[in-house]
Amino acid sequence: MKLDKAYTLDEIAELVSGKAVGNASIKAHGINEIHAVSEGDIVFVDHNKYYKPTLSSSASIVIIDQPAECPKGKALIVHPEPFEAFNFLTQHFLKKLEENSKEKPNIHPSAQVYPGAHIGKFVTIGARSVIHPGVVIYDHCIIGDDVIIHANSVIGSDAFYFKRREKLHDKLISVGNVILENEVEIGAGCTVDRGSTGSTFIGEGSKLDNQVHIGHDTVIGKRCLFAAQVGLAGCVTIKDNVVMWGQVGCAANIEIGEGAVIYAQSGVAKSLEGRQTYFGSPAIDARLKMREIATISNLTRKQ
């Protein structure tokens, strides 16, 4: 998420009552979760596993829960609860962006929005798009031209992102959006979660069947086909022309290569190369999986 203006390190530290360390001349231009950071961004870390990748990321300011050696050219803000500080900042800056924004809902005159659909604040809907009854489009989402969203689908619901604590699950507040490019079609009863701080993206000409779920910050390429009950976790990258048949499940933080085909009820646990066909759980080369099934079947019959 881009900020309404550039902020100094001291200004950010003061907002969250944290201790600033490092390059005092750094200015923050954005705030993002680790998978989406770039230079000028604020990010947070509060787990040993992620200290090194976060400190070495492109982010310029890291909110961290313990003193650490500050990488050259970066800055730290030491805070006892980086997760809470990050939540405070995203909400603070989103409010500022909305207060300063001159945007209004931008629904093209040729778009058809049926009665019973709900359109949030600052939503854009392009030419000739059709929004069926019961559809909910949350704030800041961008819908391209010639998009069809069938009944009771939800575009822009919160990311499923929680920090586990002893007595509760603490929610990361979602401030991102969803972008549907031109000629995307979303079936009935689908859910597309918005990015935690950035965008969940579905590329031009991609088609989702009924009851498909797309997790936060996932990026889907052009002309993909997903059959019913496909479920993608957050931060998945799907290249162009990928086909997933019914009930395929996909773990977080992986990539599916261009032109891959994944047969029904497969479970994708790691990244897969493009232009190959996969089956099984965990998904492997479909021909190999079929031979494996045949071999097991033959062994069973011989017993």
Residue 249 DSSP symbol: E
* Average pLDDT value for residue range 41-63: 95
Lookup: tokens for 110: 């040729």
User: According to the model, what pLDDT value does residue 263 have?
Assistant: 98
Per-residue pLDDT band at 301 (split at 50, 70, 90)? confident
* Average pLDDT value for residue range 51-58: 95
pLDDT at residue 302 is higher than 70: no
User: According to the model, what pLDDT value does residue 298 have?
Assistant: 85
**Using CA atoms, how far apart are residues 170 and 174, in angstroms rounded to an integer?**
12
Among the listed residues 49, 39, 42, the one whose alpha carbon sits nearest the alpha carbon of residue 63: 42
pLDDT tens by residue, 127-182: 999 999 999 999 999 999 999 999 999 999 999 999 999 899 999 999 999 999 99
Among the listed residues 125, 231, 97, 252, the one whose alpha carbon sits nearest the alpha carbon of residue 184: 125
User: According to the model, what pLDDT value does residue 303 have?
Assistant: 60
Minimum mean pLDDT range among 80-89, 100-109, 242-251, 284-293: 100-109
User: According to the model, what pLDDT value does residue 85 have?
Assistant: 98
**Using CA atoms, how far apart are residues 270 and 259, in angstroms rounded to an integer?**
17
User: According to the model, what pLDDT value does residue 299 have?
Assistant: 83
**Using CA atoms, how far apart are residues 177 and 179, in angstroms rounded to an integer?**
7
pLDDT tens by residue, 241-275: 999 999 999 999 999 999 999 999 999 999 999 99
Do 228 and 222 contact (CB within 8 A), yes or no?
Answer: no
Lookup: tokens for 260: 């891959």
pLDDT at residue 289 is higher than 90: yes
Catalytic residue among 35, 79, 213, 216, which? 216
Element (H, E) at 169: strand 169-171
Among the listed residues 259, 281, 214, the one whose alpha carbon sits nearest the alpha carbon of residue 270: 281
Per-residue pLDDT band at 110 (split at 50, 70, 90)? very high
Lookup: tokens for 243: 């086909």
Q: Clarify whether 216 is annotated catalytic.
A: yes
| Domains and their CATH numbers in the chain | 2-100 (3.40.1390.10), 106-290 (2.160.10.10)
Residue type, 173: I
Lookup: tokens for 252: 């977080």
pLDDT at residue 236 is higher than 70: yes
User: According to the model, what pLDDT value does residue 282 have?
Assistant: 96
